[in-house]
């Protein structure tokens, strides 16, 4: 069974940091490009960041560039998102998603673009 399980969300003050993790199972993780996609309250899905299957290429939305860092550990079948200098507008449910793509970053917020999608973890940035 294909499964993605996010963790690490929570409540943090503006300017704080969080590290999200996404544990993958049931598919060959190292052959999948991975992304983080978020959905703020009352809004649509927004692509946040992506990483190629081998980890050599990464991409970020302009709204998070310079503050968030995506990484992966293929030996542990785990994807990460380090989030620094958090802002209230980063409040959202964060989903990890995987696509059977080789060698490039998937920059897409649509669920239909992915072969695997997690249940999400809530991140709330508030004082």
b vs e for 58-96, b when ≥16 Cβ sit within 10 Å of the residue's Cβ? ebbbeebeeebebebebeebbbbbebeebeeebbbbbbb
Q: What is the pLDDT of residue 47?
A: 98
Average pLDDT (99-110) is: 95
Report pLDDT for 52: 98
pLDDT of 94: 98
Whole-angstrom CA distances from 31 to 17, 45, 54, 74, 81 are: 29, 24, 8, 9, 19
43-81 pLDDT per residue, tens: 999 999 999 999 999 999 999 999 999 999 999 999 999
Query: What average pLDDT is seen over the chain?
Result: 97
The per-residue pLDDT for 32 is 97
**Whole-number pLDDT of residue 89:** 97
């Amino acid at each position: 069974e294909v499964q993605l399980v996010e963790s690490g969300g929570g409540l943090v003050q503006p300017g704080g940091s969080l590290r999200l993790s996404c544990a993958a199972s049931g598919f060959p993780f190292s052959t999948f490009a991975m992304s983080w996609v978020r959905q703020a309250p009352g809004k649509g899905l927004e692509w946040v960041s992506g990483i190629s299957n081998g980890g050599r290429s990464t991409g970020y939305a302009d709204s998070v560039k310079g503050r968030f860092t995506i990484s992966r550990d293929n030996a542990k079948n785990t994807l990460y998102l380090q989030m620094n200098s958090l802002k209230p507008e980063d409040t959202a449910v964060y989903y990890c998603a995987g696509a059977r793509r080789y060698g490039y970053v998937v920059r897409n917020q649509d669920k239909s673009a992915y072969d695997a999608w997690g249940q999400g973890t809530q991140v709330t940035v508030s004082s």
